[in-house]
């Protein structure tokens, strides 16, 4: 060790002593040029010194094999001193000097060595690259890295990584992408490098290369998260056929399988619900995928398609398992609540509404209040809503918030909360009013209360409109309520505002056109109302593919045809409606009876009017017709 230190010191002294002489020019300029005269003197070898150099070289190799690195270093230095024209020994010493931090000395020796004859190796080019990198000479650094990489056939992982660090420093992103592309398979797609490559490709706008990257990463590692990332990119690129092909191969129930299934669902966003449901059923029943997210989406779609029993089984079995997204669990509970109402079990419906609120940490109070109202627990609903309105009317932002933009955002959210409870209050008031109108139509006092409830609901809506004049949904609710209050001119004026509004797309426009059109047809107050009403109903029908229109809109069109005296056409359309779904609907029965009566179908008219009297006792048209047919 002392010999190695002495040799290093002597070497450094020799180079420093010569530093005052003129330096010769070199395209690969570096930090410590060796004077030309000193260099020639320095390289003079005495006769017989090659034997000594060879002996030192052999001893250095032996010491390294025995793990005596310091002693070996001393022998390498000694061998080079006796044979400084050996390219191999010169680079070996330069590498030793570089390792101990003597960068300037290492650079001088390496540049001398680079001029010598002998075999050029990867490690020599790499040494030159590192020395130029330390000297801050970018072009020469790149040159020698490329020579080293070419010589190693790009198989040296450390060399690739060192070159990538240089490319990061000089911000050569295109070349960096190429090098990472070579380095990643050698590192088994280590996450840190993979993430950097992803960011680079995104930054360079090479989205298609991302797909290839994740595909190779998945093939190399077998990790499903890489496949999920690939599917995500395919969805962004709208390559839906490939997304579905990958999703079709999923037969296990891992977390990443759930991610892939949900991403695949995005490819069905504009597809018919039947097609999406078919995909989900295949994955669940045929492929045996049992991830909670799949069960959730399957249950939701089955509920929408009227497959209530199956939807109940799937949602009831999964609503507490969706730990990744509690909003899914809450939505499952809301659907279960709606189905419980359909099963005439209001207590269970309220329980699921409460569970949804719990899953959302108290953020489901609006739905809970409406569920209580639907269950005819009006006082509980009003008490809940009164307390929430009190909370949000007293709410004030924290004084510590000074940023005006942030303050405006927070205030807007608070106002939206307050308005949501106002609207919920109006909804519960309408539920109570509707219940009175349905069961106490002949009770003057109760009907007066129903009108009072509807008027109170209107006050809540007006409060919302005062703060949010563009709220088209509230205006639609107001228009329907005005019709029930028999304030028809105001009702039609509101509907005219809605159908002309650029915000109409925020509503279910088919429902808007149907409601407005049917009201015009039913009232038929003045010439032109029937034609206008039919035109609006036709606009509603045009929103659906042929044969897919809801029966309620078909019923409206049939009623319009009846009003025009087109009785056969009206009956033909009525016969296309699922009568079982409308068995207790008084409007449908009234229309069916009137159309049969107009066509002289006495037997069918009598049957329809008798059914109408069961759901609306005392109906004047039914009593009049049946009395005249006795």
Summarize pLDDT for 311-368 with one digit per residue, the tens: 999 999 887 777 667 888 999 999 999 999 999 999 999 999 999 999 998 999 999 9
User: Residues 149-155: contacts with CB within 8 Å, 24+ apart?
Assistant: 151/120, 151/121, 151/122, 151/125, 152/122, 154/182, 155/186
pLDDT at 323: 64
In the chain, what are the domain boundaries?
A: 214-290
CA distance 471 to 298: 33
pLDDT at 424 over 70: yes
CB 128 within 8 A of CB 104: no
- Kindly provide the b/e burial profile for residues 573-604, where b requires at least 16 CB atoms within 10 angstroms of the residue's own CB: bbeebeeeebeebbbbbbbbbbbbbbeebeeb
Which residues make Cβ contacts (< 8 Å) with residue 112, sequence separation at least 6? 34, 39, 43, 84, 90
Residue 15 pLDDT exceeds 50: no
Looking at the predicted structure, is the pLDDT value of residue 412 above 80? Answer: yes
Q: Which of 273, 261, 267 is nearest to 237 (CA)?
A: 267
Residue 613: which residues within 8 A CB-CB, separation 6 or more?
619, 622, 623, 626
Q: How many angstroms separate the Cα of 83 from the Cα of each of 52, 79, 88, 384? A: 9, 6, 10, 95
Phi-psi category of residue 619: left, alpha or beta, with phi > 0 → left and psi -120 to 50 → alpha:
beta
> Which secondary structure element, helix H or strand E, spans residue 604, and what is its range?
helix 602-615
Tokens of 556: 């409206």
Asked if 608 contacts 589 with a C-beta cutoff of 8 angstroms, the reply is yes
Please compute the mean of the pLDDT values over residues 505-515 and round it to a whole number: 96
Window from 45-49, 128-132, 587-591 with minimum mean pLDDT: 45-49
- Is pLDDT of 11 > 50? no
Average pLDDT on 294-306 reads: 93
With CA atoms as reference, report the closest residue to 518 among 536, 504, 500.
536
Give the pLDDT of residue 99: 85
Question: Is the predicted pLDDT of residue 63 greater than 90, yes or no?
Answer: no
Is the dihedral angle over the CA atoms 378, 379, 383, 384 positive or is it negative?
Answer: negative
Length, in residues, of the chain: 630
- pLDDT band for position 62 (cuts 50, 70, 90): confident
Res 370 pLDDT > 60: yes
DSSP state of 283: I
- Confidence band for 400, pLDDT divided at 50, 70 and 90: low
Confidence of residue 37 (pLDDT cuts 50, 70, 90): very low
Instruction: Give dist(CA 445, CA 44) in Å, integer.
Output: 124
By the 8 A CB rule, do 347 and 360 touch?
A: no
Please give the share of the chain, as a percent, with pLDDT higher than 90: 67
Query: What's the sign of the alpha-carbon dihedral 87, 90, 96, 99?
Result: negative
Between the alpha carbon of residue 389 and those of residues 7, 33, 354, 417, 431, the distances in Å are: 87, 82, 19, 9, 19
Taking residues 128-149, report their average pLDDT.
92
Above 50 in pLDDT, residue 17? no
**pLDDT mean over 267-279:** 92
For residue 242, the model assigns a pLDDT of 95
Task: Please tell me the predicted confidence (pLDDT) of residue 331.
Answer: 93
Whether 94 and 127 have beta carbons less than 8 Å apart is answered as: yes
Q: What is the pLDDT of residues 482-501, one digit of tens each?
A: 999 999 999 999 999 999 99
Residue 401's pLDDT is what? 57
Q: Distances in Å between the alpha carbon of 170 and those of 165, 203, 601?
A: 9, 16, 90
Residue 399: per-residue pLDDT: 63
> Among 109-118, 475-484, 508-517, where is mean pLDDT lowest?
109-118
* pLDDT higher than 60, residue 30: no
Question: What percentage of residues in the chain have a pLDDT greater than 70?
Answer: 91
Cα–Cα separations (whole angstroms), residue 447 to 434, 443, 490: 10, 6, 21
Count CB-CB contacts under 10 A for residue 165.
Answer: 10
Give the residue with greater pLDDT, 620 vs 10. Answer: 620
Burial of 48 (0-12, 13-18, 19+ CB in 10 A): exposed
Q: Which two tokens stand for residue 112?
A: 């001398």
**What is the pLDDT, as a whole number, of residue 398?**
67
The answer to whether the beta carbons of residues 420 and 366 sit under 8 Å apart is yes
For range 270-291, the mean pLDDT: 93
Of 52-61, 412-421, 426-435, 582-591, which has the strongest mean pLDDT?
426-435
Position 20 scores a pLDDT of 35
CB 562 within 8 A of CB 591: yes
**What per-residue confidence (pLDDT) applies to 72?**
81
CA atoms within 13 A on the CB side of 129: 22
Give the pLDDT of residue 275: 94
Q: How confident is the model over 538-590, as pLDDT tens digits?
A: 999 999 988 889 999 999 999 999 999 999 999 999 999 988 888 788 999 99
Indicate if the pLDDT at residue 404 is higher than 80: no
Is the model's pLDDT at 92 over the cut of 50? yes
22 pLDDT higher than 90: no
**Dihedral through CA 317, CA 318, CA 323, CA 324, nearest 10?**
160
Mean pLDDT of the chain: 87
- The answer to whether residues 436 and 452 touch, using CB atoms and an 8 Å cutoff, is no
């Amino acid at each position: 060790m002392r010999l190695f230190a002495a040799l290093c010191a002597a070497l450094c002294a020799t180079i420093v002593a010569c530093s005052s002489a003129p330096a010769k020019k070199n395209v690969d300029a570096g930090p410590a040029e060796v004077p030309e005269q000193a260099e020639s003197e320095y390289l003079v070898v005495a006769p017989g010194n090659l034997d000594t150099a060879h002996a030192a070289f052999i001893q250095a190799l032996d010491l390294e094999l025995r793990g005596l690195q310091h002693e070996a270093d001393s022998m390498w230095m000694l061998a080079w001193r006796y044979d400084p024209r050996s390219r191999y020994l010169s680079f070996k010493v330069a590498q030793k000097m570089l390792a101990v931090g003597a960068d300037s000395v290492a650079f001088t020796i390496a540049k001398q060595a680079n001029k010598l004859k002998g075999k050029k190796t990867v490690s020599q080019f790499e040494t030159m690259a590192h020395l130029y990198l330390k000297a801050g000479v970018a072009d020469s650094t790149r040159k020698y890295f490329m020579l080293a990489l070419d010589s190693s056939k790009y198989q040296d992982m450390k060399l690739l990584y060192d070159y990538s660090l240089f490319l990061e420093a000089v911000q050569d992103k295109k070349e960096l992408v190429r090098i990472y592309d070579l380095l990643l398979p050698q590192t088994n797609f280590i996450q840190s490098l993979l993430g950097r490559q992803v960011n680079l490709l995104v930054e360079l706008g090479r989205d298609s290369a991302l797909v290839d990257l994740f595909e190779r990463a998945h093939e190399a590692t077998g990790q499903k998260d890489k496949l999920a990332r690939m599917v995500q990119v395919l969805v962004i690129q709208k390559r839906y056929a490939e997304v579905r092909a990958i999703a079709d191969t999923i037969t296990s129930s891992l977390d990443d399988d759930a991610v892939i299934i949900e991403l695949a669902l995005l490819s069905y966003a504009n597809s018919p619900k039947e097609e999406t449901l078919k995909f989900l059923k295949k994955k669940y029943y045929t492929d045996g995928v049992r991830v909670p997210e799949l069960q959730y989406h399957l249950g939701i779609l089955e509920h929408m398609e009227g497959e209530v029993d199956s939807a109940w089984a799937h949602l009831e079995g999964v609503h507490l398992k969706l730990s990744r997204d509690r909003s899914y669990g809450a939505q499952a509970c809301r659907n279960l609540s709606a189905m419980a109402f359909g099963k005439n079990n209001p207590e269970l419906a309220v329980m699921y509404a409460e569970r949804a609120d719990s899953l959302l940490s108290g953020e489901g109070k609006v739905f809970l209040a409406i569920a209580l109202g639907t269950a005819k627990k009006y006082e509980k609903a009003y008490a809940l809503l009164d307390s929430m309105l009190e909370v949000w009317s007293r709410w004030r932002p924290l004084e510590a918030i000074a940023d005006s933009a942030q303050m405006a955002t927070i205030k807007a959210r608070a106002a939206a909360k307050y308005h949501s409870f106002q609207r919920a209050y109006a909804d519960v008031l309408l539920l109570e009013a509707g219940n009175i109108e349905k069961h106490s139509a002949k009770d003057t006092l109760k009907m007066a209360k129903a009108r009072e409830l509807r008027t109170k609901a209107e006050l809540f809506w007006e409060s919302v409109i005062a703060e949010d004049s563009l709220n088209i949904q509230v205006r639609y609710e107001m228009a329907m309520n005005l019709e029930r209050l028999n304030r028809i001119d105001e009702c039609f004026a509101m509907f005219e505002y809605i159908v002309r509004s650029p915000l109409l797309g925020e509503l279910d426009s088919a429902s808007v056109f149907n409601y407005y059109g049917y009201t015009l047809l039913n009232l038929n107050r003045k010439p032109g109302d029937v034609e206008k009403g039919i035109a609006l109903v036709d606009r509603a029908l045009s929103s659906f593919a042929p044969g897919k229109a809801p029966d309620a809109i078909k019923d409206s069109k049939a009623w319009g045809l009846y009003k025009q005296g087109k009785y056969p056409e009206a009956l033909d359309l009525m016969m296309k409606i699922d009568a079982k779904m409308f068995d207790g609907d008084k409007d449908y029965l009234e229309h069916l009876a009137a159309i049969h009566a107009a066509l002289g179908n006495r037997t069918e008219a009598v049957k329809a009017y008798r059914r109408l009297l069961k759901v609306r006792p005392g109906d004047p048209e039914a009593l009049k017709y049946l009395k005249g047919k006795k």
